[in-house]
Chain A
Amino acid sequence: MDTTQLLKGVLDLAVLAVLRAEDGYGYDILRRLREAGLEEVGDASVYGTLRRLFAAGLLTTYVVPSESGPHRKYYSLNAAGRDQLARSGKLWRSFATTMDALLDERGAAA
């Protein structure tokens, strides 16, 4: 199984989770996801996910001028985004528990 296949389903959740603690701009969010262990995530995937979540009304944006480099567009969770994160997080936990149990029973997990 390929990590990118798994990522497709949970990238929304991952991005929302990364933004819960702190607002971030596109490349920053990508870096945080990679530091957290999702090394195979691509820039376009993160950027596209951010655009979609923004279009769905789960994120708000603001621009922060930078002295050293280009202006940066920051994304932050709004109330709807937090709601979505809570619901998706719960769903993921139950799903992950089910999968864990499934794998434990069969003794497949190393």
Chain B
Amino acid sequence: MTVTEQEIAEYVGRVRAALADLPPALREELTEDLPEHLTEVAAEGEGSLVDRLGTPEAYAAELRDAAGAPDLKRRKLDQRVAGMVSSILGRLRALDRRLGPPLGYATGSDFLRLLRPGWWVLRAYLAAMLVTVVTTGGSLGLLPRFGGELLAGVVMLIGFLFGSIWLGRRSERLRRWPRLALHASSVVLVVFGLAGLADGERRAGYGGYDPIAVVNPYDQVRDVFVYDSEGRLVENARLFDQNGNPIRLGYPDCRDEFDPSGGSPQGNPLLRPYPYCPEQAPFAPRAPVGPSTAPALPPLSSPTATTSPSPSSTPAASRTPEPTATADPGATASATPTPSTTR
């Protein structure tokens, strides 16, 4: 024999590859005993397989022709769709078989079949809840009601239960249209159940409160400074809300250093009048320079925008040329005027 088994296997492999577009079952049917056939052919004469039979691709084309196998590219659309459907069904069956053993059954559908009575109970409940929604107008609890009546709803649920189980045991024997109607209503109930589930989940979430982070804008307040219309700091001011309750903001963090007695008759530092620390006032009480410049505080503008009219600035003062060069620079720096702003 001049043809080796390996040559035959190679030839068969290339023929199969050339038929790869065929449905697996058909390809298998065509080529399952091709190795044996080629072995017979090889035993009958001399020369390599390609010499005697042509290339594997040509052999595959002839085989496809002779066996009446359709060329997939030439098949009609409906045949292709049918082929696709059957291949999907085949794949689902394979999946079904593969899912079985992990669940402890021969196939996955064997397991699902055991759950069918559970579905019958569930669909009776869903149907009762659907009637509840229709008769009571949307307000949905967990128990069925009929027109708002709980007892009637429970009676209805029990009736549906028996009906559903009876229907479930008969559904195999139903004819085409009743069965289709049953399946369609099952789909409706499933959609209704999912919608109800989503609704309940939404209503249960966060106890009805929107999860918004509340930031108190007064958290940063440490002290309160009240100015009158003339821009003068008001000391010992008290703040009250519309009910006469004192408004407590900030905390006295400076008084103990300067005045251990606190100046507060109540002793509770939080009941002291504002400001706790007058010396930290953002706007300095200015000595009356003139009536025209008296309103030093523009009450409606932010503190950063206020520029003090005082001309003194320490760097400029220290940089003034000193011809004698005997003066200590530290002395000039310390000789700054009263600071007009602290922030």
Contacts and interface: CB of A to CB of B under 8 A. Distances in A.
Nearest to B32: A51
A49 B36 contact: no
B227 interface: no
A55 interface: yes
A71 B33 CA distance: 11
Interface core residue of B1, B66, B69 (most chain A CB under 10 Å): B66
Interface centre among A27, A49, A55 (most CB of B within 10 A): A27
A42 B62 contact: yes
A71 B245 CA distance: 109
B66 A48 contact: yes
A26 B37 contact: yes
Contacts of A71: 36
DSSP class of B's interface residues: helix, strand, loop or mixed? helix
B44 A27 contact: yes
B65 A47 contact: no
B99 interface: no
Contacts, number: 65
A44 interface: yes
A43 B15 CA distance: 13
A73 B43 contact: no
Query: Chain B: interface residue count, which band?
Result: 20 to 34
B59 interface: yes
A28 B93 CA distance: 41
Contacts of B68: 52
B63 A47 contact: yes
A17 interface: no
Nearest to B1: A69
A38 interface: no
Interface of B: 1, 29-30, 33-34, 36-37, 39-41, 43-44, 52-54, 58-60, 62-69
Given A43-B53, A44-B63, A48-B63, 14 more contacts: A11-B66, A25-B40, A26-B37, A26-B40, A26-B41, A31-B44, A47-B34, A47-B37, A48-B69, A51-B67, A69-B40, A70-B40, A70-B43, A73-B33
9 contacts: A8-B65, A27-B41, A42-B62, A43-B52, A44-B60, A47-B63, A47-B66, A51-B30, A70-B36
